[in-house]
Structure 1
Amino acid sequence: MNTCLAAGGAAVGLVLGAAASSITKTLLRQPARVAHSWWLGAAITAALLALTGWRTGIRGELAIYAYVLALGVPLAVIDWVEHRLPRIVVLPQLAGAALGLAVLCVARSDPAPVLRALWAALAAAVFYLLLAVLVEGGVGSGDVSLAAVVGLVTGWSGWPEVAGALVIASVAGLLLLLVPRRGSLRKAVPFGPCLLVGMTTVIAVAG
Structure 2
Amino acid sequence: MVASGWWVVAAAAAGLGVGAAASTATRSFVSLKRRWARSGWFGAALTGVVFAVLAWRLAGRGELVAFGLAAGVAIPLGIIDWCEHRLPRVLAWPQLGATALALASVALVRNTPEPGLRALAAAAAAMVFFLLLALASGGGVGAGDLPAAGLVGLVTGWIDWPHVAGALIAASVLALVVAVPARQHRTHPGPATVPFGPFLFCGALLMVLVGA
TM value normalised by structure 2: 0.91
Rounded Cα–Cα distance in structure 2 between residues aligned with 1:144 and 1:202: 19
Rounded Cα–Cα distance in structure 2 between residues aligned with 1:55 and 1:3: 11
Q: 1:155 to 1:42 in 2, by over 3 A?
A: same
Work out which of the residue numbers 88, 108, 129 in structure 2 matches 1:127.
129
Q: 1:19 to 1:185 in 2, by over 3 A?
A: farther
Higher relative contact order (CA 8 A, sep 6+): 1
Work out which of the residue numbers 191, 199, 203 in structure 1 matches 2:204.
199
Contact between 1:138 and 1:188, CA under 8 Å: does it hold in 2?
no
Indicate the residue corresponding to 1:167 in structure 2.
169
Indicate the residue corresponding to 2:192 in structure 1.
187
Contact between 2:167 and 2:200, CA under 8 Å: does it hold in 1?
yes
Rounded Cα–Cα distance in structure 2 between residues aligned with 1:70 and 1:192: 14
Indicate the residue corresponding to 1:21 in structure 2.
23
- Structure 1 consecutive aligned stretches of length 4 or more whose deviation exceeds 4 Å: 181-186
Worse overlay, 126-135 or 41-50? 126-135
Contact between 2:32 and 2:38, CA under 8 Å: does it hold in 1?
no
Provide, for residues 126-183 of structure 1, a one-character-per-residue CA deviation record: whole Å limited to 9, x for no partner: 1112222223453211112200011011111110111111111111111121243565
Indicate the residue corresponding to 2:52 in structure 1.
50
- Asked if 1:149 is matched to 2:151, the reply is yes
Rounded Cα–Cα distance in structure 2 between residues aligned with 1:72 and 1:195: 10
Q: Secondary structure of the equivalent of 1:85?
A: coil
Contact between 1:45 and 1:73, CA under 8 Å: does it hold in 2?
yes
Given residue 42 of structure 1, which amino acid in structure 2 is its aligned partner? A
Residue correspondences, number: 207
In the TM superposition, residue 186 of structure 1 has moved relative to its aligned partner by 6.2
Worse overlay, 173-182 or 93-102? 173-182
Given residue 197 of structure 2, which amino acid in structure 1 is its aligned partner? G
Rounded Cα–Cα distance in structure 1 between residues aligned with 2:132 and 2:98: 25
TM value normalised by structure 1: 0.94
Contact between 1:137 and 1:188, CA under 8 Å: does it hold in 2?
no
Rounded Cα–Cα distance in structure 2 between residues aligned with 1:137 and 1:100: 32
Contact between 1:2 and 1:55, CA under 8 Å: does it hold in 2?
no
Q: Secondary structure of the equivalent of 1:178?
A: helix
- Cα RMSD (Å) of the superposition? 1.7
Rounded Cα–Cα distance in structure 2 between residues aligned with 1:184 and 1:97: 40
Q: Structure 1: any 5+ residue segments left out of the alignment?
A: none
Q: 1:78 to 1:185 in 2, by over 3 A?
A: farther
Q: Percent of counterpart pairs with the same letter?
A: 45
Rounded Cα–Cα distance in structure 1 between residues aligned with 2:104 and 2:169: 26
